[in-house]
Every structure is written in C-alpha cells, then in structure tokens.
Structure 1
Amino acid sequence: MADSADRRSPGTDAAGAETATVRNLPVLSLTDVVVLPGMVVPLELDEPAQAAIDAARAAATETSGTDSDDSKGELLIAPRLADRYATHGVVATIEQVGRMAGGAPAAVLRAGRRARIGVGVSGPGAALWVEAELLDDEPVTERTRTLATEYKSLVIATLQKRDAWQVIDTVEKMTDPSTLADASGWAPYLTGEQKRQILETADVAARLELLIEWTRAHLAEMDVAEKIRDDVREGMERNQREFLLRQQLAAIRKELGEDGEQEKGSVADFRSRLEAAELPEKVREQALREVDRLERASDQSPESGWIRTWLDTVLEIPWLVTTTDHHDVTAARAVLDADHHGLDDVKDRIVEYLAVRGRRAARGLELVGGRGSGAVLVLVGPPGVGKTSLGESVARALGRKFVRVALGGVRDEAEIRGHRRTYVGALPGRIVRALTEAGSRNPVMLLDEIDKVGADGYRGDPAAALLEVLDPAQNHTFRDHYLDLDLDLSDVLFLATANVLETIPSALLDRMELITMDGYTEDDKVAIARSHLLPRQRERAALTADEVTLTDEALRELAANYTREAGVRQLDRLLAKVFRKVATRLSGSPSGNDGSDAPVVVDQADLRGLLGRPRFLPETAERTAVPGVATGLAVTGMGGDVLFIEANTAPRDDSEPRRGGGSLTLTGQLGDVMKESAQIALSYLRSHGHRFGVDPADLDGRIHLHVPAGAVPKDGPSAGVTMVTALTSLATGRPVRSDVAMTGEVTLNGRVLPIGGVKQKLLAAQRAGVTTVFIPARNEPDLDDVPREVLDALTVKPVADVADILAEALEPIAGVDSEVARVA
C-alpha cells in the first residue's frame, strides 16, 4: 500500500537538507503504560488493540507481497489522555503474536523511534490511522555526555539502594545518552506524567536534565524513608526485646511468688495511686500531667527516672493527713510536768496554745482565712537544759507526731529548699523529708541548733531560706525547689533550739517567739536527778532501787562541787559512772568481793572513792586575796560563768618615751568591745580616781589587764564595772571582797548601763559561792524571772553609779574606807 510507505515532504529546510520522514501508521492507545524507545512490552489484546495489530500486519503483508502470519508489521503506540489527544508516540514493531497462559490473545511489541502524531489518514482495517513524523536524536555533544554520566551515577545509586545488582550491570554497559535516557521508562519511581514528558522531549540533553532532577529528588526521598524505616525497625526491635525481657521477668517473678509487684512503677500504677491518694486538687492535676509525660517518655530516657522519683515523693507526702490534738489543758500540763522539772515559761506557752486551739475548734474557727494553727518558738539556752527533749514532751502532750531536723553545720540552701529535680541525685529539702517521715501535716518539728546554720558564697544562705519556713504569714505556701508545688506548713508547730542568741540572724529571730532557758539551780538539779536521771541510769546499769540508792547530800555534792554547768548533762554522766562502779562492786570485782553487800547506799563521803576528788571548789576567796583582782559575771555558750579580771602595774622605764597617761596592755583573747571597756575604765579612774583615794601617778606606769582562760575568746561590755573595780583595787591596795561579784557596762562618767543574761549570771554566782551581786539598776525588772531560791541565797544590789560598787566591794582600810564611804 503506497500510503504506508516512507515518504518525504516536498519541502527543504533553510540549509537545503531534506525534512523529517513521515509515515502513515495505525495507532494503538494505551492508558496504563507509557512506552519509550527501546522498550519491549507484552500486551493483552482487547478489541481496539487487536484491530491495530491486524491493521499493521495487513499493511506489512500488502507491502511485502507475502501472506504469512510471521510478517512483522509496525504501528504507533501513544498514551491515551483523558483531556486531549496525545501529540507524541513511538513506532513499535510487532515481534510476536500469540496467547497468554490463560488463553487470552496477546502480542509482544518492540518500541523504536519517536514520532510526532499528525493528522488522521485512511488505511486498511478497523484501526485509526494517522500521519506520524519520525524524530531523530540530536548529535551527541560533550555536555550531553556529561549529563549522561551524572544521570548514570544517580540511577546506579538508586539501584544499589534496591539491591538490583543485575540491572546495574546493564546500565553500566549503556553508552548512548539517548538510550540511557529512554531506559527511564522502566523506572518505578517516575509517574506516568513524567514518562509522557520524557516521550515528548526530543532533545537528549533536555531529557537528561529532567531525569537528573527527578532522580535526585527520588534519592532524597529514599534517604528520608530509609532513615524512618531504620528508626522504626530499631524501635520495633527494642520494643520486641523489652517485651521479651519483661515476659521473662514476669515468669521469673511468678516462679518466685512476686508476680503481684510486676506492675509497680508503671503508668497505670501511678494513675491508680494518684486517684486513690488524698491530694489537693492542684497537686493532683500537676501529678497527672507528669504521668502523661511519663507515658510519652521512653524507659531509657533520664526524664523517665526523674518523673518516677518525683511522683513517688509526691505520693509519700502527707498533704491532707492530720492528727487530732488533745485539747485537755490539765492533762497536757501533767505530761509536761512529768517529763521536765521547771521550765515554766515553755510549759505555760504550750498550755496557752492548747487553750486557744481548743476554743477555736469548739467554735468552728480552726482554719479561718486559710491559715493553720501552728506556732514558731525558739528555745535559747545553754547545753543540757532539756531543749531537745522538750520537743518530744510537747508532741506527746499535744498528741502529735514528733520529728527532728538537725541544722548544725548546714551550709547549703538546697538542704532547706531542695534541689532542682533535673540535677543528678536531686532530693527535696529537709523540711519536706521531715514531713514525710512524720506522716502528718501537723507534727511538732524540732529545728535543732538553728544558731549554728552556716553560709558560704557558693551554695546560698540556709538561714535566708528558713525565713519562709518560719514566717507564719508565708509558710502556708512554702515552695520546695524539688517539688515545685505549694506546701502548707502553717499547721506545723516549729520548735527551734539555740545555745547563743547573738548568732541567730535578726531577720530570722524576728519571725520566732523567743523563750529563754537560762539553766537550773542546785535544788532544780537535785530534783531532776531524783525524778529523771537516777531512774534512767539505774535501768541502764541493770540495777534496782533495792540494790542502790543515793542520798540527797550526795546529789547536792555532785551538783555543787563535781559539776559546774547550767544544765544537767555532766551530772547525768557522773551518775552513770557511779552506777557502773556500784554494778561492778555488786557483780564481784577482781579484788575478791563476792557482791553480797547489797543494798548499796551512796552518801556524800562515798563520792571521793567512786569519782575521785571534787573538780570544782570555791576559789573566789583565793583569787581575790590580793589587790587588783575582781570577780565579774559573764554569759557564754555554756551558760553563766564567773570571770576573774586581774590588774597589775609596773613603773615606767625612763628609757621609754613619754606618751602621757602611761600604757595599757590587754591579754586573755579579748574582743574589741571588751578592749574598749578597759580603756573606758582606765580613763574614768584617771579623771575621777581622787574621789576614791587613787593617786593618778599610780596609773601613769605600765598597766597590764588580764582575763584568765586566755584560750577562750571573750567579748562584751558587761565587764566594765569589774575592770574599774580591779584597777581601783590595784591603785589603792585594797583587795576586793571575796563574796562579791558584779556585772554592768560603765561609761566615762561612771554610769552603770544595763546588760543581758541577768538570770544566767545570778545562777553562776550562786554556783560559785558568791553572796553579794551588783547589777545595773535598770536590770532590776529582770529579777522577776530569777527563781526565788536564788534570790534568797544572794544579796542582789542594783546600782546606777560605779562609785556605789566601789564603796562596798573593796575591803575597808583605815583612813581610806571612810573617804570612799563619804563620797558614795
């Protein structure tokens, strides 16, 4: 058939060359595949496809002049588009016609050159015939080769990711850029639209550029997909491994009979515990949010461990658990009296607290304004007076739990407020841990040794952190750094203890109610020993009251001459030693005693054999026997004590330059305030000494003022009158009376100013055997706090001028005493 043969258009191009070849071919339109040059595709023949195959074979038979089924006809394969007709296709050769395995007719077609589809023409058979213009590739250039090389490397990279090693060999053998580009028809990652665009692009370089762009994008997608796939696979493997290990662990626990604990610490366990716990609503909401975070967190994440520890801590805190107070005032006072002798100030304060608490509860005013009913008391006194043990008694009297928090030596603010929970080893502060230990929100909390809290420049100031804890107006919203939740401390009864008031920060002291515990008298010590110390030490030594007894005279001797302290701690140790000696005697000693001499009565005379000679004897008479020594009174961390001040003088060395007024040497490790008191005393005598028979020339030499026990630091203004008395005694040669002690600050005009610690100083004077004590007149109201037995044993004389002390404290000397008395 002439119409199906190749023909040239009659025209020529600008260079005079012939135009492209145009052929009439039947069209086979495919919807599910885009065929590119070089592809061999098998097709199942439907009616339109069978018609195109028959038309092509018929045209081939007519052209060749033979009638054989083996004739290879040609047809145009084009993609079928929904919105328009295709403009390009490929000329395909019919390689084989036959049937599929199921019996359906099929054909194998081999695609050849590109063709541009023209107008429709007539032809044999029922197929559609068109005019097809065959397109040739452009000549290969260096740029085309470069693009082909780049594209080949990208294709090989994609094939390597799919492990298609046999296809890689085929691609490696391709050298023609056009063939390489058209081989993309087999690429599974290209869409039908992209393949159609490759089919319609005749320029090889343009085809390669498109393929390079698409292949790069596909490689990037493959990398992302591979990373996601690896992450998913690792997660699945980890989960499978964890599941297997948990199943094994469950089996092991089941064999050990511990299968009931296998779910402890799980998210479901925390949720159920939070729902069952008594928690404030805000605390529960925050805890549930943390459980949600725990559910999202991986078991290997450090955050998972932090959250679990935090939830356990929150669940252990007694947020709403309280104990019921005993409102029986009489019973509470009986408990306090049974546990401690004296200490009426503390007992009265606790009884007052109970009385007010009971009335508020009776009238429904227990928690008015959202505040609790706790209190903040600080007990200041020397060691051994029962400050710590008093906290236990208060808790027992109130019916509350008791917990002790030791603050001595604490230097880290985090010990009070807690650590941030992201730190390694983070814990809540001591206050929160104490509440957890107590198991209730209203315990009696003893803050022991609050005066020994330290601070440094690196870990904050714990005393400042205690301000919120001990402030009744703020501690209902105390926030611990570890919990980061508001904790109500207003129901807690805080009892703080301290030995020295001066070392407590003033801002902290302002938030606490001060109660002083100055010490015990000799009668108090004997009563305490009889009621508390003796039974306890006798029990520890495995002795009974029928086996050993101590007389009151022995107890007084122990309190007076074997100990000299404000409390009873050393007395307790001596009693323990006495009972150990008695137990040894009754059990039979190596000396041959058979232990048959029970009961043992320990009297005053027996103490020397059991404890040795007395350690403390009155020494005031011995120390003040010479002029220049006076007895003062002071308060230390161990309570009140006597203080001997010695003065001496030496003539001026003529070789020394005269500075006027002589020189003053101070020894005994004195503080600045005490040194100033010595200067004031000397200046006062140089100005007013003639009133007392003091020659100013006697004070013009080298004066040495010494306070013994030089290893102990001493400071304070209350030694002023004692220094004046010692210097006057030195200058006049009149000794100071051995039964006199004094305390008070002195001015340059001789006025005596008030001081602190009157009660402790008077107790120390009684222990030292002093009978007359001079105190500032403005301290006379402080005598109301001194026990009556002490005032009966002492003659306390309030004075306003140091001349009144000098008139009575110095031993009389003929010719001088009358003058001093007259001046006074």
Structure 2
Amino acid sequence: MTQNLSLPVVFLHDTVVLPGMVVPIELDDSARAAIDAARLAHDSAKDDEPSRVLVAPRLEDRYATHGVVAVVDRVGRFAGGKPAAVLRAERRVAIGAGVSGPGAALWVEAEPVPETPVTDELRTLAEDYRALVVSILERREAWQIIENVRRISDPDVLADTSGYAPYLSDDQKRQVLETPDVGERLRLLLEWTRAYDTEDEVTDKISNDVREGLEKTQREFVLRQQLAAIRKELGEGEPDGSDDYRARVESADLPEAVREAALREVDKLERSSDQAPEAGWIRTWLDTVLELPWNERTEDSHDVAAARAVLDADHHGLDEVKDRITEYLAVRARRAERGLEVIGGRGSGAVVLLAGPPGVGKTSLGESVARALGRNFVRVALGGVRDEAEVRGHRRTYVGALPGRIVRAIKEAGSMNPVVLLDEVDKVGADYRGDPAAALLEVLDPAQNHTFRDHYLELDLDLSDVLFIATANVVEQIPSALLDRMELVTIDGYTEDDKVAIARDFLVPRQLERAALTADEVTISDAALGEIAANYTREAGVRQLERLLAKAFRKAATKLATGEVERIDVDLDGLEDLVGRPRFTPDTHERTDVPGVATGLAVTGLGGDVLYVETSVSDGPAGLTVTGQLGDVMKESASIALSWVRAHAGELGIDAAVFEKAIHVHFPAGAIPKDGPSAGVTMVTALVSLLTGRPVRSDVGMTGEVTLSGRVLPIGGVKQKLLAAQRAGLAVVFVPERNRPDLDDVPAELLADLDVRPVGRVTDILAEALEQGAAVGEASAA
C-alpha cells in the first residue's frame, strides 16, 4: 500500500516503538484521545479494518520525522488499575503535515516508507548483525530468543528487532526509527552492538576473575584452618588472637547472657580469616564489651545530713533542688535500712530535669549531687546532636561504628550506677538521620531502661540504677513525650543579695586563685559586689559577674606586678578603674516619661527581662500596625488589646474618632524574636496611656494576657519576671490573680523588695498604673 494515511498521533515519552513490536502503554489524556479518535474514525468508515494510530516518540527540541502505524489490539487496565492499551506496530511511515480528523486528538498525514531492495551486500550486513546478536544471547543462555532471531530472513525485519535490545539507548532507537534505508540501519546497529559486545566481554572477564578470587580466598581459609589444627596437635606455635579473647571472656566478670553472646562472637572470630573484614569489627566489639563495668557499682552514701552539707557548701540557695536530692537520698537510706534496696532493680533510678537560664549552676549542681552520693560523675553533651546513632549507637557492621554516648558514658564512669548529666537536652535536633530526642525516651524511662539496648552492643544494658540529671534552658523546646519522663525542677535565677553571697563565698576565692592572688593582697567589698551585680550585669546567673571579677583581679595583678601598689582594696570608689563604667543604668523613668509607653515583663532563654511597649497614633488609613519581630501570639494579643480599648472607649474617656486614625504598636529590640501570651495587659495599658494622654508610672511593671472581656489570664515564669523587675529597678509589679500560688516559690527578700499586686481585671491595672489625670472608669465584664 503506497497511498498516504490520515491517523491520530500517540506520542510516547520513554518508549521507542519499531515495526514488528507489540508493546503495552499507559494511557495519558493525549494517548486516550488518539485511541478514541481512531475508534471513532473506524466506526464511521464501517469497514473490517482494525483501528490504527500513528506512534511517534516525543522529542524535547523538535518533532519526530518518522513513526510507525500501529493497530490498537486491546484497551484495558494494568494490574494496578491504570488505563492501558496494547499496540502492535506494523510499518514505518514518514510524518507529514497536520490534517483534520474526528475527536480531540492530533491528526497527521502518514506517508509509507518505500521498501529497500534486498541485495547481496544487504544480506551480508544482516548475517553479520545476526551473528553478533546470537553471540551476545549465547552468553546469556537465551536459547528461545536465539531460535526466533535465526528464523528471521528479511533484513528489514531483523534490523527492527533492535527495538527490544536493552543495551541500546532511546536516542539510538529513535535514530534507527528515523533511518528508512535498511543498509544504513544495519551499519549503525553493527557499530553499536560491537561496542557493547566488547564492553560485555570485559565485564564478564572481571566477574569471572572476582569469582575465582573468592574461591581462592575460601580455599586458603580452609587450608589455614587445617594448618592451625595440625600445629595444635604438634604443640607448635603461640596462641592466636581468638584464643586470647576466649581466655579474657572466660576470666572476665560478666553477666551470664553477656558471656554467652561474647563467646558466640569468639567462635565467629576463630572461624574467620585474620584478613576478613568481619574479624576487625568482632575484635573491636569484644574490646568494648570487656571494658564495660558490667558488675561494678559504687556504694552510695546514706548520710542524709552529710549529703545536704555537701550541697550547701557547693551552692548558695537552690533550696528546691537540694530538697529534691535530699528526699531521694532519704528514701534510699530507709530502703537500705529495711533491706528493700535492690541494686539495679527495675524503677530504682531517678530522672531530674534542671531547667533555667545559663549561669545558674545547673551543670555544677550535677557534680555536687555525685559527690554527695559518693558516685562517679560523667557529663554527656547533647547540644546540637542530630543523629539518633549518637544515643543508640551505630550498627557494628558500619565502617567506624561506635556505641552510643550513653554506653560510652557508662564505660567512662567505670560503674553501673554513676550520676550522668545530660547537658542541654532542649538543644537536641532531628533530621534525616533520626530523632535523638525519641531515642532518649527509653534511656530516661525508669520502667524501660533496665533493658536498654544499644545498636552497637545488641545486649541488654541495665540503666535503672543510673541517676540521670538533665539540664535545659527552655522547657518549651523539649518534646512533650520526653518531658513527661523527667521530674521538672526549675532554677529561675538569683536575686542581687544571692549574687553578692555567691560572689563572696565562691567566685572571689576562685578568681583570686586563678590570678595567683591572696586575700592579703586584694580584697573587694560587698558594696562593690552589689554594684557589679546591679549596674554592670543584668543576667539571671553569675557568669558575667564572674568574668568582671576576673577582669578586675587581672588588672589588680598587673598593678601589683609593676610595683604601683602593695595592696588593693576594691570599693565603690575604685571599681570603675578596674572594670570600667557601669553598662546598665535604670532607664524606666526615661522610657515612660511620655504617654503611650508601658513596661512589661517577659521570659527568654537567658532568663527574665523587661519588655517596653511603645504606641503612637497618626493621621492615615485606619488600622493597626505591629512591629518588633513578633510571633503570631503577640500579634493576636495586640489586636485583642485594641479591640478591648475600642469597646470601652467611653468608659475610659477616649474619643471614638481616634480609632479612625493609624495606630502603631512597637516592641523595641526588633532584631530579637518575641512571642508568648504575657504581653496583653502591657499593650492595653500602653494604648490607654496614649489615647488618654496619661503616662504610665515609671516604677510599674506588669505581665499577663488579657481577654476580650478584660480578664487577666495566668502566665508562666513568675519568679524570673520578678527577678528581672528587681534588676530593672521597678517597685510595683502587677501579676495575674491566678498566679498568686506561684508567689510561694519567690524568695522572701524579693517579695520584700517589690510590691507585687495580683489583679483579676485589666481595669485594676489601669486604675493604679497610670499617672493621675482623668479617672479611668470601671469597664463592665461584658
């Protein structure tokens, strides 16, 4: 047939179809449209011919010049349910111009490619190609395919069987499709197939060499084992490494289950070659197991009074933490007296979480607890850990595998009941390597950690008698499931009196020693210490205070070394000469001397801090603008505060017309992210101050969230916020009424220094926080 055909086109992305091939294809929208169009044309013609389509490859940079006419044999679905069709390719055609046709498919004119006359040269090329294909198939032992290839006599048909060749790329198959001349087609196929045949022979040779090498290694292993047996019978030679490990395992003090597992590994070591990779990691594993203190335990001190004396000597204040440790010791002492103590028994451990800002003594407190108990102490730094294998260990077949940090800590401690400090658990991260926080769940659960299993050891490790003490700065960053496993003890920070006492009793002696000074050469007064704590540092802990003391003593040592003076007594007068001018001075009065500014209190990862809220009103489109790097919670609080003020404008003496202007609420220190439900009352107070023209009292601070009905909701971190208020020089602090029980945990000297006023409604704050002026009316609850 030489006449041109009009056919709908099926474009294929990842398959090249050559004449004679039968292929199933997945039907996308365009392919389904083409097949539907072919069926529609067939039904209209009312003849006995089957439905036909033109199959062509879809190219990125151009249109295909050739395709194949294919019969639609079957339309159905794949096993997975996706629509599919089976196409049987008949002949190669050249693709002409587009034509019109029924349906939504693209129709083109297809011109049949004229047949190439069969010549002797063509038969020779076909035979060469057939011989090459058969040789490749014989190496693969594909005998059925070989018979089919030998039966093909037509060079054109033989060349188009390359569509099934897996070693040809799609680009090569497209070139075969677009080469009408059979001789040229066979020359291309001979070139490509010879290149593949050469590469395939090299690959087979390498595979055979590797197989022969493995057989040689196995033969050498058998001969080596026989030689070892002969030497043993003759009594010659020294014990090899595996014999040494067997003796070490049998003489070691190991639990029975651990001993059996170790002996199984020794058996594997004896059966393996010294050059085998397995032998290296078996030796490393055995070394790790033998170094662990499986049955080593220190004896606890049960003298409760002596333990409390150790804690008091090492740390000033922190009564809640000391009470918790003392209670733990008292219970253990009573159980020991009554014979109830079970070393390593299930649930006998304890997990304490010390949470608070940096510099309050969390890590050093863990060391003091170990000293009070008479236990070994080891610290595990978890900050920045993102790999679960850091906690549970690596599989020991990995290159460079190690046990997890928990197992390494037990080995370092040298006993099975140490005090393990898990430092910075709030800074544990998670990524594609797993979640270390989730791995800590088993470690810190007293009901599970008696059978903790490290991936490297693959042995049950009893952690139930380990006293875990975790530290964190921000409790909210700890996953709730992990936080549930620990008993939270909060260390909020120190008052100025506490800092002076800590500096006098701990910091000054330590820094004098580091500077090689004595108390006879340098002294520092309590007044100077108080000045440093009040106006040179604003921190919850004492790290910056200690740095300033170190700086002062270095300068003092320099003066003594140069002979300027023979003795230095640091007081208020000479303080500036040693540590510079004060970095912090009370500025609340300056910040709040204009209407629209209020002083709030907040808690950050560094402890409590004051938070100023500034507001302004200007001509412009009505609306609220909030700036200062705020989170969603604080932005919502600003909207609630403005809504409450607008709803009670009449009672507050505010002209309603002012709400048609642009109102701006700003939180200074915009580079610091701020969020949390504790600034609502501060924003209400600042807005009322702005719109009534009455400044907020400079000695007043406040904290609490506000509702649309004007109620003050409870907040967290009361003690840290009160400490920040004291550092900032405030006198009066408003806290939510429902936080009144939290005041029981606040030191008495702090409550004596501040006038803390619990309030239940925001109008109570407005009535007392604003400077005298027009009276603020009582807002209704509705």
1:202-601 aligned at under 5 Å gives the runs 234=220, 266-367=241-342, 370-371=345-346, 373-456=348-431, 458-588=432-562, 594-595=563-564, 597-601=565-569
Does the 8 Å CA contact 2:682/2:703 hold for their aligned counterparts?
yes
Query: In structure 2, how many angstroms separate the alpha carbons of the residues matched to 1:568 and 1:701?
Result: 47
1:88-107 aligned at under 5 Å gives the runs none
Q: 1:611 aligns with which of 576, 579, 587?
A: 579
- Residue 743 of structure 2 aligns with which residue? 783
Larger C-alpha radius of gyration, 1 or 2? Answer: 1
Say if 2:696 is the partner of 1:736. Answer: yes
- Residue 156 of structure 2 aligns with which residue? none
- Residue 175 of structure 1 aligns with which residue? none
Provide the secondary structure at the position in 1 that maps to 2:475. Answer: coil
User: Match for 1:614: what amino acid?
Assistant: P
Does the 8 Å CA contact 1:548/1:598 hold for their aligned counterparts?
no
Does the 8 Å CA contact 1:561/1:615 hold for their aligned counterparts?
yes
Provide the secondary structure at the position in 2 that maps to 1:633. Answer: strand
User: Match for 2:372: what amino acid?
Assistant: A
- Shift of residue 801, structure 1, vs aligned partner: 0.3
- Shift of residue 367, structure 1, vs aligned partner: 1.7
- Residue 631 of structure 1 aligns with which residue? 599
- Residue 694 of structure 1 aligns with which residue? 654
- Shift of residue 370, structure 1, vs aligned partner: 3.5
Say if 2:759 is the partner of 1:799. Answer: yes
- Shift of residue 823, structure 1, vs aligned partner: 8.9
Does the 8 Å CA contact 1:366/1:372 hold for their aligned counterparts?
no
Query: In structure 2, how many angstroms separate the alpha carbons of the residues matched to 1:229 and 1:347?
Result: 68
Query: In structure 1, how many angstroms separate the alpha carbons of the residues matched to 2:443 and 2:223?
Result: 51
- Shift of residue 480, structure 1, vs aligned partner: 0.3
Query: In structure 2, how many angstroms separate the alpha carbons of the residues matched to 1:424 and 1:444?
Result: 31
Query: In structure 2, how many angstroms separate the alpha carbons of the residues matched to 1:306 and 1:403?
Result: 27
Query: In structure 2, how many angstroms separate the alpha carbons of the residues matched to 1:330 and 1:236?
Result: 67
Say if 2:608 is the partner of 1:640. Answer: yes
Q: Deviations over 1:8-32 (max 9, x none)?
A: xxxxxxxxxxxxxxxxxxxxxxxxx
- Residue 94 of structure 1 aligns with which residue? none
| CA spacing shift, 1:231–1:803, aligned 2, 3 Å | closer
1:709-788 aligned at under 5 Å gives the runs 709-788=669-748
User: Match for 1:433: what amino acid?
Assistant: R
User: Match for 2:294: what amino acid?
Assistant: W
Report the aligned-residue RMSD.
2.3
User: Match for 1:390: what amino acid?
Assistant: L
Deviates more, 1:371-380 or 1:739-748: 371-380
Query: In structure 2, how many angstroms separate the alpha carbons of the residues matched to 1:234 and 1:454?
Result: 49
Provide the secondary structure at the position in 1 that maps to 2:671. Answer: coil
Provide the secondary structure at the position in 2 that maps to 1:502. Answer: helix
User: Match for 1:760: what amino acid?
Assistant: Q
Query: In structure 2, how many angstroms separate the alpha carbons of the residues matched to 1:823 and 1:296?
Result: 88
Does the 8 Å CA contact 2:424/2:471 hold for their aligned counterparts?
yes
Does the 8 Å CA contact 2:648/2:779 hold for their aligned counterparts?
no
User: Match for 1:404: what amino acid?
Assistant: R
Does the 8 Å CA contact 1:692/1:823 hold for their aligned counterparts?
no
- Residue 769 of structure 2 aligns with which residue? 809
Provide the secondary structure at the position in 2 that maps to 1:749. Answer: coil
Provide the secondary structure at the position in 2 that maps to 1:308. Answer: helix
Task: Normalising by structure 1, report the TM-score.
Answer: 0.66
Provide the secondary structure at the position in 1 that maps to 2:391. Answer: helix
Give ranges in structure 2 of 5+ residues lacking alignment: 1-211, 230-235
- Shift of residue 598, structure 1, vs aligned partner: 2.2
User: Match for 1:637: what amino acid?
Assistant: G
1:12-31 aligned at under 5 Å gives the runs none
Give ranges in structure 1 of 5+ residues lacking alignment: 1-225, 244-249, 252-261, 589-593, 657-661
Does the 8 Å CA contact 2:500/2:530 hold for their aligned counterparts?
yes
User: Match for 1:695: what amino acid?
Assistant: D
Counting matched residue pairs gives: 564
| CA spacing shift, 1:734–1:305, aligned 2, 3 Å | same
- Residue 602 of structure 1 aligns with which residue? 570
Does the 8 Å CA contact 1:691/1:823 hold for their aligned counterparts?
no
Does the 8 Å CA contact 1:582/1:600 hold for their aligned counterparts?
yes
Provide the secondary structure at the position in 2 that maps to 1:576. Answer: helix
Does the 8 Å CA contact 2:304/2:326 hold for their aligned counterparts?
yes
| CA spacing shift, 1:231–1:356, aligned 2, 3 Å | closer
Query: In structure 2, how many angstroms separate the alpha carbons of the residues matched to 1:680 and 1:500?
Result: 27
Does the 8 Å CA contact 2:528/2:570 hold for their aligned counterparts?
yes
| CA spacing shift, 1:751–1:230, aligned 2, 3 Å | closer
Query: In structure 2, how many angstroms separate the alpha carbons of the residues matched to 1:383 and 1:228?
Result: 59
Does the 8 Å CA contact 2:221/2:273 hold for their aligned counterparts?
no
- Shift of residue 268, structure 1, vs aligned partner: 2.0
User: Match for 1:714: what amino acid?
Assistant: K
1:174-213 aligned at under 5 Å gives the runs none
Provide the secondary structure at the position in 1 that maps to 2:678. Answer: helix
Provide the secondary structure at the position in 1 that maps to 2:555. Answer: helix
Query: In structure 2, how many angstroms separate the alpha carbons of the residues matched to 1:518 and 1:492?
Result: 26
- Shift of residue 820, structure 1, vs aligned partner: 3.9
| CA spacing shift, 1:671–1:390, aligned 2, 3 Å | same
- Shift of residue 822, structure 1, vs aligned partner: 10
- Residue 144 of structure 2 aligns with which residue? none
| CA spacing shift, 1:601–1:232, aligned 2, 3 Å | closer
User: Match for 2:279: what amino acid?
Assistant: S
| CA spacing shift, 1:231–1:788, aligned 2, 3 Å | closer
| CA spacing shift, 1:619–1:298, aligned 2, 3 Å | same
Q: Deviations over 1:413-471 (max 9, x none)?
A: 00000000010000000000000000000000000000000001x20100000000000
Query: In structure 2, how many angstroms separate the alpha carbons of the residues matched to 1:495 and 1:236?
Result: 53
Does the 8 Å CA contact 1:699/1:731 hold for their aligned counterparts?
no
- Shift of residue 241, structure 1, vs aligned partner: 12
